[in-house]
Structure 1
């Protein structure tokens, strides 16, 4: 933590708004990644080999070609919203890398969202905010 991040108060309203967007993005990314994994299992695991299901493999290829870029866009939006939260909280670079990692491993974004929520709440209690001055007045 740098000197600037400890002396300059956080904007609690902006942080909570940013976290709300990040929370939605985490849930959407988690679901999108699970859908992508299911498509890949169907494409390569169930219907990918020679044998009984080869005629439907082309269908899963097409579904994969459509869903993969959609998931990529969802992940990019997730990273942008994670970056926004990271900037507003003024965390270290390790925290940003962790936020990005949460969106890469299936199901981890759900746990990462809960962990991030606890970290945001703890930091808002511990660190000064602009709204603290208004509450005292």
Structure 2
């Protein structure tokens, strides 16, 4: 006797009735079983944008320093230096906001703040922070 997809088969090959299918778990933002609080997700989004902007801002600052010292273009650093300073202050504030809301360790917070002053490292720190916050691991 053919058995439909919706019924379970016993050991002797007869149908026992409808199969009991496990219900899917409610989806969480992390996929790890522990939901990330909305206030942490919002702070994480703001931090990620700031890390991206500061990362590129620092690369631009390095280019302007090359233009200043190699080509005598003093105005480049005079213009971009203060802009990058304001961007970094925003990065620090947003990193502290996320660190406070997600209860980071002092060492993790300092690592993220230091990442904003080394060219390219803010991109690495942002990926690491994003992964750990979503996995609900401590930083």
Q: Structure 1 length as normaliser, TM-score? A: 0.72
Contact 2:50–2:91 (CA under 8 A) maintained in structure 1: yes
How far apart, in 2, do the equivalents of 1:11 and 1:122 lie? 8
How far apart, in 1, do the equivalents of 2:133 and 2:58 lie? 24
The Cα RMSD (Å) is 1.7
Larger Rg: 2
Q: Cα deviations across residues 37-90 of structure 1 (Å, max 9, x unaligned)?
A: 00101211x21xxxxxxxxx2xx2112111101100000000000000000011
Of 72-81 and 90-99, deviating more is 90-99
Task: List, as ranges, runs of 4+ consecutive aligned residues in structure 1 with deviation greater than 2 Å.
Answer: none
More helix as a share of residues: 1
Deviation at 1:17, TM superposition (A): 0.3
Residue 13 of structure 1 is matched in structure 2 by: 38
Q: What pairs up with 1:1-137 in 2 under 5 angstroms?
A: 12-44=37-69, 46-47=70-71, 57=72, 60-123=73-136
Provide structure 1 residue ranges, at least 5 long, that are not aligned to the other structure: 1-9, 48-56, 127-137
More strand as a share of residues: 2
How far apart, in 1, do the equivalents of 2:114 and 2:101 lie? 19
